[in-house]
Structure 1
């Protein structure tokens, strides 16, 4: 959206709305997330420092103000005030924000959940069917009703096709933090759990054509890419993450990310691999799904 649903749903508040007085603002200082109450709407505002780019270093060094904090032999630390044009903060707004959006971005303790195939059918799937976010923003992309100008590559085939576009986490100004998302045209595949051997042509097509498109557009070879799926995903429509190896993208840890190459190999070995396999994933303290696992005595 990342890679998150709420981030992709977000639109900046237009000028007529931005003049509204803020009734309440509560900051979560550890992760830069703020909950803001507008006059008649709740909103989530996400603040992120933009990456430092190599092509701006000359301006950064020549135009910044330095304040010495500490010096000891060859070591010293400073506070640096960058020039105005290099001191941007990327701001994403979800407005109006539902309670689910607000909880999604609040700082919470996390727990690792162990989910068997039976747990998925009896606990996770019913919860997903009741609680998942709207996928309208995904369909808007696939139908070219939104973000059409951001599409890097598309295979329009309804069965194995996909669109490839930058994730909102990436400002597209340098490949060091490259982050793209491939969204499948095929609907109805919610997550890893739905994947079977019949989906191998789709997965292989995304894997191969996605890497080719990135090579052609960004001159980045496959050997420098991390290609993976999340479980649990942040939204329940099949999508694949492409990030540059070496960039520690949110959610790329082993407790959530599954390399697409491994997924393909697992399905080639066992067509029901993800239907029966025990999977592990983190959930935050106030996640409704975590409550369901606790109620079932699984945590």
Structure 2
């Protein structure tokens, strides 16, 4: 069927924007490259599609080593860039089947999405419990990204075919499924997320003694599900929680130790085993601890801390003793 005929009538455009599957970037207009990482081979493009903002995350896919011979045929073109004795460097142009670029599309994108993916200056925040109560909590309870997509997963309206494991218990249960960053083929880049069924846990700050059964269940059953499904043992997995999280419905990340996962730095990732141990030692550990994270200058959270005078003080003054 012709692409244009597949589009819904204009009266259904809003639903179409959120539900339709693209088969090309026909009509996409590039506005700017808002982020680029040469080491990770990624770029984020801000553009327009069907008259509305769109964000496209481009990422070079890993080599499929099981088909590595596909690169070494007459279909791969070579252009020499340097030759010195026995050493030569070339720009190689492999066949289409081995030349795919992963593209994640957010459409229609909001101003918040554009802001989130744009390169910005970053600043360290040492968030004390009082700063959380006075600055962070009021913001995250009043203004955040829509997480309807999370509820769609939990209610099996979307991505049900991608679920690796589910525990349906309303208090300790969760759904385990691949993160969009993983192509589901290269297990050395394995990345799954456990999304809890319980709705009243926003972040690490809400965890206490009552959360232990949930956390222990996620760790135990999540690791077993990955072992059973992908034959990767617990000793080869990082299991952690982000703070600040990218969305405020509690979830846990599972990644292969070989994968340099975004957000696994000391300024954001908290290992689940350590979190469990800390709560076992002190039930209100994360309600009393000063937590460190990065904020970016266009983020609402940065502006809130700036308005509160946080960045006008020295680090020693800002952090409660």
TM-score for both structures, normalised by structure 1: 0.91
Query: What displacement does 1:92 show?
Result: 1.5
Counterpart residue number, 2:70: 59
Residue pairs, 1:44-123, within 5 angstroms: 44-62=55-73, 63-72=75-84, 75-123=87-135
Query: What displacement does 1:223 show?
Result: 0.3
1:204-243 deviation digits (Å, cap 9, x = unpaired): 0000000000000000000000000000000001100000
- Partner SS, residue 30 of structure 1: strand
Answering whether residue 274 of structure 2 is matched by residue 262 of structure 1, we say yes
**Is the contact made by 2:170 and 2:197 (CA closer than 8 Å) also made in structure 1?**
yes
1:171-194 deviation digits (Å, cap 9, x = unpaired): 011211000000011111000000
Say if 1:15 and 1:125 are closer, same or farther in 2 by CA, change over 3 A: closer
Residue pairs, 1:1-299, within 5 angstroms: 14=21, 19=26, 21-22=27-28, 25-28=31-34, 30-31=36-37, 32-62=43-73, 63-72=75-84, 75-299=87-311
- Partner SS, residue 72 of structure 2: helix
Query: What displacement does 1:72 show?
Result: 4.0
**In 2, distance between residues paired with 1:16 and 1:161?**
36
**Is the contact made by 1:13 and 1:95 (CA closer than 8 Å) also made in structure 2?**
no
Say if 1:224 and 1:24 are closer, same or farther in 2 by CA, change over 3 A: closer
**In 2, distance between residues paired with 1:154 and 1:296?**
42
**In 2, distance between residues paired with 1:218 and 1:24?**
38
Counterpart residue number, 1:3: none
**In 1, distance between residues paired with 2:161 and 2:125?**
39
**Is the contact made by 1:27 and 1:33 (CA closer than 8 Å) also made in structure 2?**
yes
**Is the contact made by 2:35 and 2:118 (CA closer than 8 Å) also made in structure 1?**
no
Query: What displacement does 1:76 show?
Result: 3.7
Whichever of the two has the greater Rg, that structure is 2
Q: Which ranges in structure 2 are unaligned for 5 or more consecutive residues? A: 1-16, 38-42, 312-321
Q: Which ranges in structure 1 are unaligned for 5 or more consecutive residues? A: 1-9
With CA pairs under 8 Å and 6+ residues apart, which has the higher RCO, 1 or 2?
Answer: 1
**In 2, distance between residues paired with 1:168 and 1:118?**
35
**In 1, distance between residues paired with 2:161 and 2:208?**
33
TM-score for both structures, normalised by structure 2: 0.85
Say if 1:79 and 1:18 are closer, same or farther in 2 by CA, change over 3 A: closer
**In 2, distance between residues paired with 1:215 and 1:175?**
12
Say if 1:59 and 1:246 are closer, same or farther in 2 by CA, change over 3 A: same
Say if 1:291 and 1:159 are closer, same or farther in 2 by CA, change over 3 A: same
- Aligned pairs, how many? 289
Counterpart residue number, 2:13: none
Report the aligned-residue RMSD.
1.9
